[in-house]
Amino acid sequence: MSSLNAEIVEQAAEEGISFAAGEIGSAVTNVPPEVIARPTTAETENVSLSPPLVLSFFGPAVFALVIQHLAVTLTALSMVRERLSGQMDRFRVAPVSSRELLVGKYVAYAVLSLVVAAVVGALLVLVLNVPLLGGPLIFAGIVLLLTFASLGVGLLISLVADSERQAVQLSMLMLLASVFFSGFVLPVTDFAGWTQYISYALPVTHGIATLQDTMLRGEVSQPWMLLALLGIGVVLYVGSLLRLRRILRTAD
């Protein structure tokens, strides 16, 4: 639109200069019409520490989405299968507390999730050449927090769902919500106010923002998102523990 307006102004200036030259003659100052239409020119310069590529921008977002969905999918069926197969009856009489059982689930699936995350992260940085300006330590910390919170989502789904089909459906709903409301496609600030509460309740929302910051800018511009990830993980752990205690009907 701005270039079209400049073309119109340039044509009008050219006609005006021609008319003034015919009326006044040599007293008219010959100013080029393009200068009148475009008195200034903008020259852009990239001052960021990384090149503005589509792959570099969406790479951390896809990585965060993969971490969450993997953790949720792995754990969403864990407790459901044990409840349907009768394993919970053995846990009721076994010398193991609900806390120990839940921590064991966290550790087992966290190891598998982190191994896959390490492989995908290495491919992202070494093969696809997505920059990692923030260093490996903060990157690993964000991945740990995102994995912890995502495992809590999956375990809570597995303790609430009544069947494997229901667990899979809840996992897919979580994936769809993460794609549309996490800032993966549109910035969270563009959503309606009440929708932003849903966005910030998703672990992947904070994972996308912090991973993009640490990989592309070299620092986390919003440290509160790290605390939010930790808080979401703790709340989901407590909720899963209370639900598991209710299922087992034992007191620690």
pLDDT tens-digit readout, 158-209: 888 888 888 889 999 999 999 998 888 888 888 888 888 989 999 999 999 9
State residue 48's pLDDT score: 63
Residue 226's φ and ψ, nearest 5 degrees, are -65, -40
Identify which has the larger pLDDT, 213 or 22. Answer: 213
64, two tokens:
């965060």
State residue 27's pLDDT score: 52
177, two tokens:
């919500």
Domain spans, the chain: 2-37, 55-248
Q: What average pLDDT does the structure give for the chain?
A: 82
How does residue 55 score in pLDDT terms, banded at 50, 70 and 90? Answer: confident
How does residue 16 score in pLDDT terms, banded at 50, 70 and 90? Answer: low
Of the ranges 35-39, 95-99, 233-237, 240-244, the best mean pLDDT one: 233-237
- Residue 239 CA to residue 221 CA, distance in Å, equals 30
Identify which has the larger pLDDT, 3 or 182. Answer: 182
How does residue 20 score in pLDDT terms, banded at 50, 70 and 90? Answer: low
Check whether 13 has a pLDDT greater than 80.
no
- Residue 124 CA to residue 31 CA, distance in Å, equals 54
State residue 30's pLDDT score: 60
State residue 251's pLDDT score: 42
Task: Give Cα separations from 14 to 3, 19, 103 (angstroms).
Answer: 16, 9, 78
